[in-house]
Amino acid sequence: MDTAQIDTTSAQDYALETRDLGKSFAGFYAVKGVNLQVRRGSVHALIGPNGAGKTTCFNLLTKTLSPTTGKVFLEGRDITRLRTAQVAKLGLVRSFQISATFPHLTCLENVRVALQSDYGKSFRFWSPISAVSELNARAVELLERVGLANALDLTAAELSYGKKRALEIATTLALDPKVLLLDEPTAGMGHEDIEPITKMISEVSDGRTILIVEHNLSVVATLCERITVLQHGEVLTEGTYDEVANDPDVITAYMGGVDEL
């Protein structure tokens, strides 16, 4: 990692960037020539019809998959050849991937475990006595941020689906990521859970860069300053919600699939 080069121009503007990113499976390109630029401090969405390449793209960013072509940069640093754990240590973390929750632990215990994990950097050097109370205080603070202040002593198994996702986000935030990747955070949620989780993501986005794959386009419209639309593995267009929603090519892409814009 010491030898990784930092491109200072892009590091100033973009927390996350890809250049000519591509992935082929037996000759079929699921992702092709993707140039993605996620501005530092923004909430950016990656959308597209089913099979557009969003999940493959996320897997390439978090190094679950190795690219066939191109490069990935985190704050200007070339992370293309690093592994998932290494990019997590550098601050690129995908929710629901590294920080799984344990069903029989309480919310407080779950977040404490995440804070104590190898990726939690802040608590290593503290003395044992102060560490326990500081860990508890930090865990409570994180649970308050995601709206689980009243659920500290409930086990993860006792939570509603929406609150489980909130707990997962709290355990991810415990890793203090610079760039947070959220993979369909409202997937499978009932209507009643979508608004609170959207509000919570908006609150935790403060001071952070977030890249989100999300099928619910009203969630995207509420949260995201920039939207990149993928189709057949390639970038179809990029812009604000209004720009992409009124783009005839985007409308055609969505009408050709099962999704609606």
**Does position 19 bind ligand ATP by CB under 6 A?**
no
Q: State whether residue 112 is helix, strand or coil.
A: helix
**Does position 258 bind ligand ATP by CB under 6 A?**
no
Please say whether the dihedral angle defined by the alpha carbons of residues 25, 82, 223 and 163, taken in this order, is positive or negative.
positive
Q: Which of 53, 76, 91, 177 binds ligand ATP (CB under 6 A)?
A: 53
Q: Which of 51, 120, 239, 257 binds ligand ATP (CB under 6 A)?
A: 51
The rounded distance, in Å, linking the Cα atoms of 91 and 117 is 14
Angle ∠(207,208,209) on CA atoms, nearest 5: 140
**Does position 181 bind ligand ATP by CB under 6 A?**
no
Q: Which of 21, 43, 48, 92 binds ligand ATP (CB under 6 A)?
A: 48
Tell me the closest approach of the beta carbon of residue 46 to ligand ATP, in angstroms: 8
Q: Which of 42, 56, 205, 231 binds ligand ATP (CB under 6 A)?
A: 56
Q: Sort strands 43-47 and 226-231 into parallel, antiparallel or unpaired.
A: parallel
Q: Which is nearer to ligand ATP, 128 or 188 (CB)?
A: 188
- The span of 44-52, 69-77, 185-193, 204-212 binding ligand ATP (CB under 6 A) equals 44-52
**Does position 27 bind ligand ATP by CB under 6 A?**
no
**Does position 34 bind ligand ATP by CB under 6 A?**
no
- The span of 46-54, 71-79, 135-143, 248-256 binding ligand ATP (CB under 6 A) equals 46-54
The rounded distance, in Å, linking the Cα atoms of 99 and 180 is 12
Q: Which of 16, 21, 45, 52 binds ligand ATP (CB under 6 A)?
A: 52
Residue 231's H or E segment, with its range, is: strand 226-231
Q: HSE (CB half, 13 Å, CA atoms) of 171?
A: 29
**Does position 22 bind ligand ATP by CB under 6 A?**
no
User: Residues 6 or more apart from 196 whose CB is under 8 A from it?
Assistant: 147, 162, 166
Tokens of 213: 């794959």
The rounded distance, in Å, linking the Cα atoms of 36 and 179 is 14
Residues that bind ligand ATP (CB under 6 A): 25, 30, 48, 50-56
